[in-house]
Amino acid sequence: MKAIVVGCGRVGSAVAKKLTKSGWDVTAIDENEEALARLGEHWSGGFVVGHGMDVNVLRQAGIEEADAVVVATNGDNTNIVVGQVAQKRFGIECTVVRILDPARAELYATLGLRTVSPTSTAIEVLTESVKACSVKPLRAPAAAS
């Protein structure tokens, strides 16, 4: 199975490595050549330097044979557009798009894009953590000193 990861930052590179470990054939794309270093010394997958908005770069990464595309650049709107290009132009049904803004993530999910919003997840987890604290409030040590 072949996957393309667009945007090889902290998230993209980690996803690329995890997929590789699970047996995927992964090619990462990043504008910045130095992003290759994030994949580690023993990176055996592909790496293409270029912008995800450039269809030639997507083709060079092998999007025409890809089974899945992960879009995780640092720009929400870039991700939204690149995700739709992968989905609509190249017909990759399994296109997953990171959108930090929960409102846009929700809207584009209703428009048929598989969106993931880490911000929503963070909000959820942080709120739950606080609630968990208030159930068992930490007490100050009882005049020990």
Q: Which residues bind another protein (CB under 8 A)?
A: 53-55, 75-78, 80-81, 84-85, 88-89, 101, 103-104, 107, 111
| Cβ proximity to another protein, 26 vs 85, nearer residue | 85
H-type alpha helices, 22-145: 55-60, 76-84, 102-110, 118-135
Q: How far is the CB of 81 from another protein (least distance, A)?
A: 5
| Cβ proximity to another protein, 11 vs 84, nearer residue | 84
Residues written for the chain: 145
Q: Is 103 helix (H, G, I), strand (E, B) or coil?
A: helix
Q: Can you tell me the distance from the alpha carbon of 79 to that of 82, in angstroms, rounded to the nearest whole number?
A: 5
| Cβ proximity to another protein, 102 vs 118, nearer residue | 102
Q: Can you tell me the distance from the alpha carbon of 35 to that of 52, in angstroms, rounded to the nearest whole number?
A: 14
Q: How far is the CB of 112 from another protein (least distance, A)?
A: 10
